[in-house]
Amino acid sequence: MAFRAGVPLKDMEFVQYHPTGLPGTGILITEGSRGEGGVLLNKDGYRYLQDYDLGPPDPWPRKNAMELGPRDRLSQAFWHEQKKGRTIKTLHGDVVHLDLRALGEKKINERLPMVRDLAKSYVGVDPVYAPIPVRPVVHYTMGGIDSNIDAATSIEGLFTAGECACVSINGANRLGSNSLTELLVFGARAGQGAARIAAGSHKTNPGSAIQKQAEAAEGRIKKLFGANGGGETVSGLRDEMNTTMEEGAGIYRTDASLRQSCEKMNDIGKRFANIELKDKSNVYNTDLLHVLELGAMIDVARAIIVSALQRKESRGSHQRLDFIKRDDKTYLRHSLAHYVPGQDPDITYRDVVITRSKPGTRVYGGGQK
């Protein structure tokens, strides 16, 4: 909504994969399970992370090494293992094993009761006796509605907080639990800012411009209620969109894959015009909700693809197989996607404000000093 109203979406190419989700449902198995000493194994029972500059494979958890490496590196390592055919095939796609057995029943019950419960319930595996099947799952969008440190956007009176916002505390690769900061700190600031503006403005009748906008919005929904026989369904387009984004704009991207996805998404965007609303009820109509959401998701997906296409480097969660190096000279900048009705968004750039943390080389495992 903010995007369509004219606020740019910032850094949309950065999408975080969490390395240990359950296959099928995507339920997360917390980083804590690796923090306690859980290890990741490929189909040969080998701790494959040591092959990706994350070693040495100590038998105990070591900070910033092996299983405690960053989320993007771990997810990328899975991708490579999959290409090498060293992952395990299941009904819900390829997986690797997260092995907690060395921890023993007592420690698992004490420290990771929820992990045990989730694994037993949703994949039928008791981590005390068997390894849990896991795979990388899409987790968090680092990018979002461009906002300043006060949670304010470029439209006066419009504030944003949470995952939809991009204050830029996450850079190109978010750390675990940062969403708490997003909500508590910037949620509070957004609320305070909005209250300030509301207190300072007088109640007036909405201007004719706003009235017109409201009528246009109502008209769009009424049109949906009136249209019949379009033939396209929410689930059909949504599933196609999922596959398109996963294939072309997933853990690794290339110019070709992104262009292909871009074309496909444009096609999906066009077909969306033929979507048919089946539920015509005025009360709690979730079919309508899903149609509106899908329309917004298609716009967001296109912002992700175009932002990713234009960032010709690899940084954090944005990894290009055709540009594997980080290029601070050209791209130590935020991307800003601007909405253009019916077309691909325009991308502009803004310099990064660097305060305390300076960009450095990312070295993990045995390579650390």
**Residues 59, 65, 70, 76, CA torsion sign:** negative
Q: Among 59, 124, 207, 229, indicate the residue that binds another protein (CB under 8 A).
A: 124
Query: Is 226 near another protein (CB under 8 A)?
Result: no
User: What's the min distance (Å) between Cβ of 235 and another protein?
Assistant: 4
**Residue 18: active-site member:** yes
How far is Cα 108 from Cα 320, in angstroms, rounded to an integer? Answer: 38
Number of residues that bind another protein (CB under 8 A): 21
Return the number of the residue (66 or 95) whose C-beta is nearest another protein: 95
* Residue of 4, 34, 196, 253 marked catalytic: 34
In whole angstroms, what is the distance from residue 114 CA to residue 30 CA?
9
**What is the rounded CA–CA span in Å between residue 87 and residue 252?**
17
Among the residue ranges 60-68, 145-153, 284-292, 356-364, the one whose residues contact another protein (CB under 8 A): 284-292
333 three-class SS: strand
Q: Are strands 93-99 and 132-141 parallel, antiparallel or unpaired?
A: antiparallel
Secondary structure tally for the chain: helices H, strands E? 11, 12
Under the criterion CB under 8 A, does residue 68 sit at the interface with another protein?
A: no
Q: Which region among 1-9, 240-248, 275-283, 305-313 touches another protein (by CB under 8 A)?
A: 275-283
Which helix (H) or strand (E) element contains residue 140?
strand 132-141
**Judged by CB, which is closer to another protein: 244, or 314?**
244
Binder among 177, 204, 208, 282 for another protein (CB under 8 A): 282
Contact call for residue 234 and another protein (CB under 8 A): yes
Query: Which residue lies nearer to another protein by CB, 4 or 223?
Result: 223
Among 12, 49, 112, 118, binds another protein (CB under 8 A): 118
Q: What are phi and psi of 22, to 5 degrees?
A: -80, 140
Residue 284 binding another protein, by CB under 8 A: yes
Give the separation between CA 65 and CA 67, rounded to whole angstroms.
6
The answer to whether residue 162 forms part of the interface with another protein (CB under 8 A) is no
For residues 33 and 21, the answer to whether their CB atoms sit within 8 Å is: no
The answer to whether residue 241 forms part of the interface with another protein (CB under 8 A) is no
- Which of 50, 181, 233, 266 touches another protein (CB under 8 A)? 233
Among residues 93, 105, 121, 223, the one that binds another protein under rule CB under 8 A: 121
Helix (H/G/I), strand (E/B), else coil: 305: helix
Minimum Å distance from CB 23 to another protein?
10
Q: How far is the first Cα of the chain from the last one, in angstroms, to the nearest whole number? A: 46
Residue 141's DSSP bridge partners are: 15
| Minimal distance, residue 279 CB to another protein, in Å | 4
For residues 90 to 109, the per-residue mask of contacts with another protein, x marking binding by CB under 8 A and - elsewhere, is -x------------------
Angle made by CA atoms 199, 204, 206, in degrees to the nearest 5: 115
Tell me: does residue 287 bind another protein (CB under 8 A): yes
Strands 319-320 and 88-90, by their bridges, are unpaired
Q: Answer yes or no: 101 catalytic.
A: no
| 281 part of the interface to another protein, by CB under 8 A | yes
Helix spans in the chain (H): 2-5, 32-35, 71-83, 104-111, 113-123, 178-200, 208-226, 234-248, 255-272, 286-310, 328-331
Span of 59-67, 262-270, 273-281, 337-345 interacting with another protein by CB under 8 A = 273-281
**Under the criterion CB under 8 A, does residue 283 sit at the interface with another protein?**
yes
Give the active site residues.
Answer: 18, 34
Which chain residues interact with another protein by CB under 8 A? 24-25, 27, 91, 118, 121-124, 233-235, 278-279, 281-287
